[in-house]
Amino acid sequence: MENKVIDESRQGEAMMMESGNNSGKKLFLESYGCQMNFSDSEIVASILIDKGYTTTNDYKEADVIFVNTCAIRENAESRVRQRLQDYKKVKKNNKSALIGVLGCMAERLKHQFLEQEKLVDIVVGPDAYRDLPNLIDVAETGQKAVNVILSKEETYADISPVRLDNNGVSAFVSIMRGCDNMCSFCVVPFTRGRERSREPETIVRECKEAFDKGYREVTLLGQNVNSYLWTGGGLKKEILTEEQRNNATTFAQLLEMVALIHPDLRVRYSTSHPKDMGDDVLEAMARHENICKYIHLPVQSGSSEVLEKMNRGYSREWYLDRIAAIRRIMPEAAISSDIITGFCGETEEQHQETLSLMEYVKYDFAYMFAYSERPKTLAERKYKDDISEDVKSRRLTEIIDLQRKHSEQRTKEGVGKIHRVLVEGISKKSTEMMSGRNSQNSVVVFPKGNLKKGDYVNVLATSCTSSTLIGEVV
């Protein structure tokens, strides 16, 4: 996640590079939305590179073009449609080129993409990536190829992802798939299926492999990492005996297993659900210096009534208790959040409750959105999207303005302090400066010297912009 206040403009980001065993066909991959989608693209690349493909960053020369999609908000879907129109033009020069949609939009819009709009040749859901080589073979015969079947077991635990980023410092590692939380505004349970955890030994092995290849940071990914639970036999949490539960691996235990790989391997995770954030996770974070002191804890709304309509499983008071626990156990921790404004029936008083919660917590940064109704969700079936766009826009502006003030305040608090920074590369604004992040996920800029990517360095912050610390190596 980026260390700045953002809105829906973040939805489309490409992740592409050249790699592979050069043996003929070229693959172009573009990912939209959350970190899980980027991680999934690395699994897709691994599967197809094993079949002889190479990846390219020029879609015009690709034999297969895949867009890994996000269905969380309407804005993301609109951008994907536009990209598919661009890719369709490739077929004028290369009639054998194939275009496919992966991920969260696949199941919901397969008929529109394949039959009505004729934009794609292949549609693949997030649990069917192993079937890609077969689906490509089918599409090459001129038939439409579809597999959007959701799985109760698939975790891709045995596949070593091909790291597609050109950062070479930070790696995403998926620890679980799916989601059992039926938040009324969210499509994830319908697009990614039921929650299932991945065997901890395979997670630790993947993290160690990343470290051995030079990566110095891993981010453990899941829709709700706090509910991670490995029982050893795929048993559902609801039917576990007390003995089985006591012998299971929890998220707090997994965090420590990864942290113990090496002191120079930083560990981050995303995303937490407030109803499952226990003190055991916070205590594990406090015990290990290399577990980053940063928590993304989406609140969505500061009103208990709205949270109940959202089916979030906690109240305003419960959430603030979790904030108090974080401050008590890790006073230095940075906290970020997701906030939705203009949810069905939200009153002005309830909007003010969100603002007052923000004033109390003072998030380091946040992802903020106006409510966007999504098909098949409980909110679409049960509630009326009755807040006007003008009101949504005004409330969102108030939330963004307040968060911008808090972000600047939090950044200024870092001036005059020494930060241990993991160097990520050359600063975007000056080739004479390097850039990296501290444990709290703040961006820190400092003179290049003889430093290189992957180094750790202590930086005294002497000044700052609204979201970046600037300092000197000490």
Q: What is the mean pLDDT of each run of 10 residues along the chain (474 residues)?
A: 32 41 78 84 92 91 90 74 86 87 81 75 92 94 90 87 83 93 91 90 96 96 94 65 78 98 97 96 98 98 98 98 98 98 98 98 97 92 97 98 98 98 94 96 96 97 96 97
CA distance 443 to 439: 10
- Which pLDDT score is estimated for 153? 86
CB atoms within 10 A of CB 421: 27
Joined together, the tokens standing for residue 171 give 């790696």
Which residue stretches of 275-363 are H helix?
279-287, 304-309, 316-329, 348-361
Place of tokens 């961006």: 443
Place of tokens 């401050």: 327
CA distance 431 to 57: 24
3-state secondary structure of 358: helix
CA 164 to chain centroid, in Å, comes to: 15
Contacts 24+ apart (CB under 8 A), 385-394: 385/344, 386/344, 386/345, 387/342, 387/343, 387/344, 387/345, 387/346, 391/342, 392/341, 392/342
Nearest alpha carbon to residue 461 among 406, 408, 418? 418
Q: Count CA atoms closer than 13 A to 470's CA, side-chain side.
A: 10
Start-end of CATH 3.40.50.2300 domains in the chain: 8-147
CA 144 to chain centroid, in Å, comes to: 30
Start-end of CATH 3.80.30.20 domains in the chain: 170-412
CA distance 12 to 100: 17
Query: Do 13 and 31 touch, CB atoms closer than 8 A?
Result: yes
Burial classification of residue 168, based on how many CB atoms lie within 10 Å of its CB (0-12 exposed, 13-18 middle, 19 or more buried): middle
Q: Cα-flanking dihedrals φ and ψ of residue 433, to 5°?
A: -120, 150
The sheet carrying 217-221 orders its strands as 170-174, 217-221, 266-270
- Which pLDDT score is estimated for 110? 77
Query: Do 52 and 16 touch, CB atoms closer than 8 A?
Result: no
CATH 3.40.50.2300 fits 8-147, yes or no: yes
Task: Please name the fold of domain 170-412.
Answer: pyruvate-formate lyase- activating enzyme (3.80.30)
Place of tokens 């934009």: 119
- Which pLDDT score is estimated for 19? 45
- Which pLDDT score is estimated for 16? 42
- Which pLDDT score is estimated for 13? 39
| Alpha-carbon separation of residue 229 from 126, 338, 449 (angstroms) | 21, 24, 45
| Alpha-carbon separation of residue 294 from 154, 190, 365, 440, 445 (angstroms) | 29, 29, 11, 5, 19
Options 3.65.10.10, 3.40.50.150, 3.50.50.60, 2.40.50.140; CATH for 418-473 is 2.40.50.140
Joined together, the tokens standing for residue 16 give 């592409």
Query: Do 34 and 41 touch, CB atoms closer than 8 A?
Result: no
Start-end of CATH 2.40.50.140 domains in the chain: 418-473
| Intra-chain end-to-end CA distance of the chain, in Å | 27
Specify the DSSP element, H or E, that contains 87. helix 74-88
